């Protein structure tokens, strides 16, 4: 399969999306459909003494109002720990908590009714600082306390490392509560069917897990719940966990009518998942030649009110807290801490941007102190395949840290950085910096990381690829089509995809963790092999041609024991009553043992990127413009160049947002930045010029050599921007986003005195 | 939830003034709707009648007559930024209009709305002030004219009576020897509410000195404000391009602005950054006039 050719095609969904004809789940409506309203908490932290829904029920047009007592199954959800109530009965823990659900004939009536639900609260003190929340006398968000997870990973002896070090850099770093801001907010329709089953149409990143969580909430057999979650109008991790599905499912089953919810941007910003803000205290020791000796890290993760994926995010951050550098002595400790600051969950990068901002900053500061350049110090420390990672596992799969570092060093921006830094305005300063990132892909150790796919040879000789993984904008379905077409040796137009449906597609795990393309490569390749076996079986059953032969795909057909057959011919003979189905199943390779004390670690397959950034800082106002970014990225094997560049463009914009603009501000539990006039994301005017360097170091455990790239493309740009500000002005940025006022205050520290 | 409203569409100025008189303080004018609709959604509109001006074509114009530029209240920001008259004879206004929001907002939002809203952050206001604009106000009972600097009485408040409507702005066309400019500080490059903004007009004398300076800041006080001490210092600048001299003159604005803390920035930062913003914008303009002469 080494010679597989991926025909470079445009996105298969481009025309429908550009023309607005794509039907997202939020576009759907059904006869007799009702509208849901989530009655949200009035306080960030309070006991619920009583709820009276009588006034709301009395409003004309209201069909039902549900409270916690109406939850038919288990009143909770959460991928790891189902500690988030669908409807809160006795306590609320953030402003997005639901205390009642309304279904009404119009959205307006539903909203009016929500205001008529009378809730008697006993207000509790707000827990809004993760470090304070760890103190023994802090008010408790949950009965079990405020510690969601504590992890400690050690290797070697950090104190010994620091004693041998010539330079020790120690700082505290802070990162923002980034919002996913998908164009399509949390939305969907729940439809009760005549046979007592429920159809859920809601964009999400994993239909099959939604099915199980909904079954638990409703107290129903999962087979009676059919989830369609594709296509999704943007996810970025914010639709990995359930959002509105539990609420509309309960309302639909109660009323017997289809029920729709489509959150306003403001409600989405208050109730939706966010990126965990981190406080990272990092102490890093170096020898005078730049060799890293020790890294002592403590992370405080602001978990928000409920668990969701806060534990795995913390642990992935700790796994990457010394990156893939050769650090003999490490101590990585982390606390995931419950607060009343909204809710945080999965987000592209999954903890890695937070810690690499700290690490790459410490490395550049050490380089400056030691008179080394940023490339030299990193080259001295990058790990290679076969070496031991900073958390103690041996790196068995491909490692491309040096590959991306070499490429970024040779890039136009890095080679000509002094010319790029010239400016003739007395108040402007320009700087260039670079950073590296590995990004562990897949779900990690201990969680079965599984992917299935079917390739159906249909009656007409064309193919249907059935796979669970959704398209939420990444371009993966185009990639899957190319992979299947490349293996089958047919024009990509002959492959259609059915995805993101519990009926009709195959569970391939969540569309998260940079795992879609890699998982699909192996599942599709296995399905393709199996299709060949099915052809052999079918021929043998009819012509007794034997079972030993292997089919090989040739132009638009296969070689068989009876000679070459086109797919049309095979379909004519064997696929008239039902499709001839190739089934492929794949389980990710994992490490053979867990990192002690760190559930899920280590990861086994990595993505790699290096990025360099050119910024311009206005020293009068602190405004920072990101002018140019170069990305050196290892794709393993590029399936679609245009989509890779698209992921880089989007990743850089999202990384830029993290570095310069974005932060969900919460004061005393109240979200202050509820829409796009106050929650600032980069516009087309803000995004930089791009230079792409695409490298292909095949990942040996993928049948097609591919690796996921969706997350890593947003990671190194974050420290690179912060460090470019240093290169431009001499100040070190320790807190992101580097807003104009923050940068100004760094440049003019005497301002307040 | 947007409350239920009575909605009236004015077809011409006469109709608009009749509706204004009929509904008085119960009504709110809507021109491009870029502010009113947002405030409606946030529940901040106390009026329960909307009078839509967007079809009053006679208020959408830009023209120059005998050295005076007339801008209709319903001229959009896109109209102003594209108008050769405004670009030549009131450049600060064209610059300000071109930095309002994004293309969609500039296509809908109007200069009359921007001014009548009386937001201290309105981008066209400092530009109109340094152009010495006069506001024409009409009602059923007649018309009156108010210098724009006297138009505002506080944040969101103006001299406009309930039955009155802003119909146009007019200002003397800037000529050779007059430099005008605008600078804006926001949280990003577009689609941003000003953290601070500044506009200026410098009249350059025969000896290349600044003989008259008008400088106005937005978003750093309860209304847009002129900074007279700073203006005086700009009139004392040496007639050659000196960054240090410009920077130093601009620094006087620190004493003359009175910002507050809000979600976008703190007061202390706004004071400092406003000075920098003026220095930068003034340097750019003076460089084009003084450079290499």
Nearest-CB residue to B187 (from A620, A672, A680) = A680
Q: Where are the alpha helices (DSSP H) in A509-621?
A: 516-543, 567-574
Q: Are B99 and B169 in contact (CB under 8 A)?
A: no
d(CA B138, CA A248): 53
Read off the pLDDT of each residue in B112-127 and give the average, rounded to a whole number.
Answer: 97
Q: Are A688 and A626 in contact (CB under 8 A)?
A: yes
Q: Hey, are the CB atoms on B279 and A678 less than 8 Å from each other? A: no
What does pLDDT average to over chain B? 95
For residue A661, the chain B residues in CB contact (below 8 A) are: 187-188
DSSP string covering A640-709: -HHHHHHHHHHHHHHHHIIIII----EETTEES--STTTS----TTTPPEEEEEEE----TTSTT-----
d(CA A551, CA A528): 10
d(CA A172, CA B207): 56
d(CA B78, CA B86): 11
Annotation: CATH topology of B178-290: Enolase-like; domain 1 (3.30.390)
Q: Are A483 and A639 in contact (CB under 8 A)?
A: yes
Q: Hey, are the CB atoms on A620 and B275 less than 8 Å from each other? A: yes
pLDDT digits (tens, 9 = 90+) for A331-343: 999 999 999 999 9
Q: Hey, are the CB atoms on A621 and B273 less than 8 Å from each other? A: yes
Instruction: Quote the pLDDT of residue A2.
Output: 54
Instruction: Quote the pLDDT of residue A342.
Output: 98
* Domain ranges, ordered by start, for chain B: 6-52, 57-172, 178-290
Among B280, B284, B291, which would you mutate to test the A interface (most chain A Cβ atoms within 10 Å of its Cβ)? B280
Q: Hey, are the CB atoms on A739 and B193 less than 8 Å from each other? A: no
Instruction: Quote the pLDDT of residue B291.
Output: 62
B288 touches chain A (CB under 8 A): no
B5 touches chain A (CB under 8 A): no
Instruction: Enter the tokens of residue A325.
Output: 């550098």
A665 touches chain B (CB under 8 A): yes
Q: Are strands A450-457 and A624-634 parallel, antiparallel or unpaired?
A: unpaired
Decide if domain B6-52 falls under CATH 1.10.12: no
Task: List domains and CATH numbers for chain A.
Answer: 29-124+180-271 (3.90.1170.50), 274-444+593-747 (3.30.365.10), 450-587 (3.30.365.10)
In angstroms, the separation between the Cα of residue B240 and the nearest Cα of chain A is: 16
Read off the pLDDT of each residue in B49-78 and give the average, rounded to a whole number.
Answer: 98
For residue B189, the chain A residues in CB contact (below 8 A) are: 625, 683, 685-686
Residue of B nearest to A113 (CA): B1
Residue of B nearest to A740 (CA): B187
Q: Hey, are the CB atoms on A740 and B38 less than 8 Å from each other? A: no
A667 touches chain B (CB under 8 A): no
Residues of chain A where predicted confidence (pLDDT) is lower than 50:
753
In our burial notation (b when 16+ CB lie closer than 10 A, e otherwise), range A40-67 reads: bbebbbbebeebebeebeebeebbbbbb
Cross-strand partners of A671: A666
Instruction: Give contacts of B 124-183 with A, CB under 8 A.
Output: none
Nearest-CB residue to B188 (from A425, A426, A680) = A680
In angstroms, the separation between the Cα of residue A742 and the nearest Cα of chain B is: 9
Backbone φ, ψ for residue A175 (5° rounding): -125, 160
Within 13 Å and on the Cβ side, how many CA atoms surround A561? 19
Measured from the Cβ of residue A159, the count of other Cβ atoms closer than 10 Å reads 12
Q: Hey, are the CB atoms on B266 and A741 less than 8 Å from each other? A: yes
d(CA A229, CA A202): 5
Res. B264 pLDDT band, cuts 50 70 90: confident
Q: Hey, are the CB atoms on B1 and A741 less than 8 Å from each other? A: no
Instruction: Quote the pLDDT of residue B292.
Output: 45
Instruction: Quote the pLDDT of residue B289.
Output: 81
Q: Are A184 and A232 in contact (CB under 8 A)?
A: yes
Nearest-CB residue to A677 (from B185, B189, B193) = B193
A489 touches chain B (CB under 8 A): no
A684 touches chain B (CB under 8 A): yes
Instruction: Quote the pLDDT of residue B206.
Output: 85
Residue that the structure tokens 């206004």 belong to = B93
d(CA A354, CA A239): 21
B269 touches chain A (CB under 8 A): yes
Here the ipTM equals: 0.95
pLDDT digits (tens, 9 = 90+) for B138-149: 999 999 999 999
Q: Hey, are the CB atoms on B265 and A741 less than 8 Å from each other? A: yes
User: CB pairs below 8 Å between A and B: how many?
Assistant: 76
B190 touches chain A (CB under 8 A): yes
Backbone φ, ψ for residue A166 (5° rounding): -90, -30
Annotation: CATH topology of B57-172: 3.30.465
Q: Is the pTM here over 0.90, yes or no?
A: yes
What 3-state class would DSSP assign to A158? helix
B243 touches chain A (CB under 8 A): yes
d(CA A191, CA B12): 50
């Amino acid at each position: 399969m080494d010679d597989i050719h991926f025909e470079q095609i445009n996105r298969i969904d481009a025309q429908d999306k550009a023309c607005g004809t794509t039907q997202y789940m939020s576009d759907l409506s059904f006869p007799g459909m009702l509208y849901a309203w989530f009655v949200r908490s009035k306080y960030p932290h309070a006991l619920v003494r009583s709820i009276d829904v009588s006034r709301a029920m009395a409003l004309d047009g209201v069909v039902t109002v549900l409270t916690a007592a109406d939850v038919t199954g288990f009143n909770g959800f959460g991928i790891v720990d189902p500690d988030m109530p669908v409807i809160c009965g006795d306590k609320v823990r953030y402003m997005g908590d639901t205390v009642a659900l309304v279904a009404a004939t119009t959205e307006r009536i539903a909203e009016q009714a929500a205001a008529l639900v009378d809730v008697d609260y006993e207000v509790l003190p707000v827990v809004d600082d993760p470090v304070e929340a760890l103190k023994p006398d802090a008010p408790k968000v949950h009965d079990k306390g405020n510690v969601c997870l504590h992890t400690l990973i050690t290797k070697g002896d950090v104190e010994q490392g620091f004693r041998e070090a010539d330079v020790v850099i120690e700082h505290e770093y802070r990162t923002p509560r980034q919002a996913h801001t998908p164009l399509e907010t949390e939305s969907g329709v729940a439809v009760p069917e005549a046979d007592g089953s429920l159809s859920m149409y809601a964009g999400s990143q994993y239909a099959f897990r939604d099915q199980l969580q909904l079954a638990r909430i409703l107290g129903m057999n999962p087979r009676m719940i059919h989830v369609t979650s594709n296509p999704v109008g943007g996810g970025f991790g914010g639709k990995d966990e359930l959002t509105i599905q539990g609420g509309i499912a309960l309302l639909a089953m109660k009323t017997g009518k289809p029920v729709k919810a489509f959150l306003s941007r403001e409600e989405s910003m208050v109730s939706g998942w966010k990126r965990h803000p981190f406080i990272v205290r990092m102490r890093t020791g170096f020898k005078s030649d730049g060799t890293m000796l020790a890294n002592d890290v403590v992370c405080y993760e602001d978990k928000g009110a409920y668990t969701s994926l806060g534990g795995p995010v913390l642990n992935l951050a700790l796994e990457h807290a010394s990156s893939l550098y050769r650090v003999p002595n490490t101590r990585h400790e982390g606390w995931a801490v419950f607060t009343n600051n909204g809710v945080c969950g999965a987000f592209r990068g999954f903890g890695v941007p937070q810690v690499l901002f700290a690490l790459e900053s410490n490395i550049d500061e050490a380089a400056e102190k030691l008179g080394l350049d940023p490339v030299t110090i990193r080259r001295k420390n990058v790990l290679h395949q076969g070496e031991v990672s900073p958390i103690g596992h041996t790196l068995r799969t491909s490692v491309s840290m040096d590959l991306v570092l070499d490429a970024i060093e040779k890039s136009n921006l890095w080679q000509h950085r002094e010319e790029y830094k010239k400016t003739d305005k007395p108040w402007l300063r320009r700087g260039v910096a670079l950073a590296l990132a590995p990004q562990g892909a897949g779900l990690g150790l201990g969680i079965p990381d599984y992917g299935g796919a079917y390739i159906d040879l249909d009656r007409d000789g064309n193919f249907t690829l059935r796979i669970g993984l959704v398209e939420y904008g990444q371009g993966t379905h185009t990639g899957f089509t190319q992979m299947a077409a490349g293996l089958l040796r047919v024009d990509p137009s002959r492959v259609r995809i059915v995805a993101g449906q519990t009926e009709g597609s195959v569970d391939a795990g969540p569309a998260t963790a940079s795992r879609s393309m890699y998982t699909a490569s192996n599942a599709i390749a296995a399905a393709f092999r199996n299709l060949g076996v099915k052809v052999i079986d079918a021929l043998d059953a009819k012509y007794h041609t034997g079972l030993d032969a292997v089919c090989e795909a040739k132009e638009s057909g296969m070689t068989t024991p009876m000679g070459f057959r086109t797919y049309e011919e095979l379909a004519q003979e064997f696929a008239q009553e039902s499709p001839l189905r190739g089934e492929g199943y794949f389980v990710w390779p994992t490490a053979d043992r867990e990192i002690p004390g760190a559930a899920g670690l280590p990861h086994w397959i990595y993505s790699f990127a290096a990025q360099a950034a050119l910024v311009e800082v206005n020293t009068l106002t602190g405004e920072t413009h990101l002018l140019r970014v170069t990305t050196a990225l290892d794709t393993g094997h590029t399936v679609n160049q245009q989509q890779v560049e698209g992921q880089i463009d989007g990743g850089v914009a999202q990384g830029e947002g993290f570095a310069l603009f974005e932060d969900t501000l919460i004061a005393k539990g109240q979200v202050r930045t509820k829409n796009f006039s106050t929650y600032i994301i980069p516009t087309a005017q803000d995004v930089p010029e791009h230079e792409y360097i695409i490298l292909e170091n095949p990942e040996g455990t993928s049948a097609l050599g591919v690796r996921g790239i969706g997350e890593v493309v947003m990671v190194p740009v974050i420290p690179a921007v912060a460090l470019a500000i240093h290169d431009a002005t001499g100040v070190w940025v320790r807190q992101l986003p580097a807003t104009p006022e923050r940068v100004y205050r760094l440049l003019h520290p005497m301002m307040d005195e | 939830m947007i409350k239920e409203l009575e909605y009236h569409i004015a077809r011409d100025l006469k109709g608009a003034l009749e509706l204004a008189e009929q509904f008085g303080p119960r009504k709110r004018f809507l021109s491009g709707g870029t502010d009113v609709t947002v405030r409606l959604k946030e529940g901040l509109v106390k009026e329960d009648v909307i009078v839509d001006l967007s079809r009053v074509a006679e208020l959408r114009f830009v023209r120059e007559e005998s050295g005076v530029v007339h801008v209709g209240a319903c001229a959009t920001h896109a109209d102003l930024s594209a108008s050769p008259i405004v670009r030549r004879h009131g450049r600060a206004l064209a610059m300000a209009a071109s930095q309002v929001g994004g293309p969609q907002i500039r296509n809908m939002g109007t200069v009359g709305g921007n001014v009548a809203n009386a937001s201290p952050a309105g981008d066209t206001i400092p530009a109109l002030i340094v152009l010495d604009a006069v506001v024409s106000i009409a009602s059923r009972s007649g018309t009156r004219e108010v210098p724009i600097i006297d138009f505002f009485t506080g944040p969101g408040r103006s001299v406009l009576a309930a039955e009155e409507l802003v119909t146009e702005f007019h200002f003397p066309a800037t000529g050779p020897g007059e430099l005008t400019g605008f600078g804006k500080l926001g949280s990003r490059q577009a689609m941003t509410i000003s953290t601070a903004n500044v506009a200026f007009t410098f009249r350059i004398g025969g000896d290349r000195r600044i003989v008259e300076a008008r400088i106005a800041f937005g978003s750093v006080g309860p209304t847009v404000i002129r900074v007279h001490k700073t203006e005086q210092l700009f009139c004392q600048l040496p007639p050659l391009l000196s960054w240090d001299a410009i920077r130093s003159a601009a620094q006087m604005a620190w004493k003359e602005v009175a910002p507050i803390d809000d979600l976008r920035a703190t007061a202390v930062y706004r004071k400092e950054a406003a000075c920098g913003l003026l220095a930068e914008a003034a340097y750019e303009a003076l460089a084009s006039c003084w450079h290499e002469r």
